[in-house]
Chain A
Amino acid sequence: MNIFKKDKRKEIKNETPLERSNTSTSGQSLVKLRVFRINAVQNPNDVPHFDEFQVPVKRWTTVLDALLDAKSYQDSSIGIRYSCRMASCGSCGMKINGIPRLACYTKISDLDTNTITCEPLPNFPYIRDLVTDFSQFFDHHRSVMPFVKNKKADIPNVNELTEYEQTPQDLDKFLQFSYCIKCGLCYSACPTVATDLKFPGPQALSQAYRYLADSRDSDKSKRLKVIDTSHGIWRCHFAGSCSHVCPKGVDPALGIQLLRSHLLGLSNSEKKLAKLHDRSTNSYREGEGE
């Protein structure tokens, strides 16, 4: 598999999975699912190991489908966390064949192998099997104050509430970063997070930028103070891994560099951002019916 290409975007081929998979007696293709097992909370001395399951798959079977199949019919004790099954809730992040991905968003037919290895997300403490502890990740998220703060908008009398206008151009400055589903894939891919517990990580830093770039927000200095520390934004080395693994096109690395250029006083990014990306300009115009 060439990891430098986005494997999940392959065009649908006419080939049947039978051509490259083992075939069970019933003619259904099987893959080997290797699942990381640990019970870290109940038994702190538990030694992790892998359990293997043969699971039937179709062309559209996702890794989450396969795990649930193994859980339903072979070992009900497998620990997985999931909810939406459609890349919206951000609960099913795990390391699949070495790369952090969403299990519900990763088709087995796209992995080009018959052995699927599922491990918990690195840089998140274990809880059980594929379920990891997100409390520190969420603490970092909260620490950048991920909400719009505007003194003018703080109107106690509900009847006086008015619309807070924002142009489409203003919206486009931050919209992409607001698509974050807090799945933690970027946090687990980041080499700085790997060795620095106090580094906010790509998710929190790109969220700090999301609110900085929001024209409704008026409390920028406090937020910048949180990230302009010795363990803060300056520890990002633009290894780009966060943007490579992000399943929602958030491009956290872009947000971080724009935030840094803002802190360095280098950017006229506010103006520059208003120039929409070609792609987005077109889709916006289409939306307008021009």
Chain B
Amino acid sequence: MLLWRGSIDMTSATSAKRIDDNKNKSDRANREGLRGWLNPIIYGWERVSYWFQRLTGIFLLVYFIGHVYETSSLVSGPDAWAAMLEMTQTIGGHIFLILVIGASTFHTINGIRLIFTHSGQGLGTPGRPDYPYDPTSVNNKQRSGLWIAFILAAVAMLYGANVLFSGGE
């Protein structure tokens, strides 16, 4: 039995081809682009997490490259190394290191949470949605990982600030 078929070719193969063709079309008007990435607040806490994970990830990457450059000064002898270390002994250097501590703590803990959510863990199971709809995946169970990441990052930064600014006393 042949059902009605419109003039548009509805097969998935042609759809996939159209998606490819669309790629280079100037028809990009109304795309949110990078603004869409950066918009951190109107879509709830998971979007805040997305934003911070990306921000801290890129920050850590930049730090990591700088860190390799810094430690590579060792090959020029202990004096060059000591001169490099001096750079972190300023107030600005301390603040930078505290940010690194906060970023790496947040990124790691929240990264572990994301590994769980990306594998479908802690998100609840599908059911029969009833009004008022309450999506189970954006629940407090998985979200608590985000709170823990924020809290531990703050604690680590406070501890780091204490060590750096008052020698840990």
- Residue ranges of A at the interface with B (Cβ–Cβ < 8 Å): 3-4, 6, 8-9, 40, 98-99, 120-126, 132-133, 135-136, 138-140, 142-145, 158, 172-177, 179, 188-191, 193-195, 197-198, 213, 226, 237-241, 243-251, 253-255, 257-258, 260-262, 264, 266-267, 269, 272-273, 275-277, 279-281, 283-284
Contact = CB atoms under 8 A, between A and B. Distances in A.
A257 B123 contact: yes
A140 B42 CA distance: 26
A4 B44 contact: yes
B30 A122 contact: yes
A257 B30 contact: no
A213 to B, nearest CB: 8
Interface string B114-137: 100111110111111111111111
Contact of A241 (B35, B44, B128, B131): B44
Interface residues of B, number: 56
8 contacts: A6-B134, A9-B132, A122-B31, A188-B32, A198-B20, A240-B50, A266-B119, A280-B127
Contacts of A241: 43-44, 46-47
Nearest to A239: B50
Interface of B: 1, 10-12, 15-16, 18-20, 22-23, 27-37, 39, 41-47, 49-50, 53-54, 114, 117-121, 123-138
Nearest to B39: A191
Contacts of A279: 127-128, 130
Given A191-B47, A194-B33, A264 B124 contact: no
Contacts of B32: 122-123, 188, 191, 194-195
Contacts, number: 213
Given A126-B29, A140-B15, A194-B33, A3 B135 contact: no
Contacts of B18: 135-136, 139
Ranked 10 nearest A-B pairs via Cβ: A194-B36, A240-B46, A249-B133, A249-B129, A277-B127, A280-B127, A261-B120, A241-B43, A194-B32, A239-B50
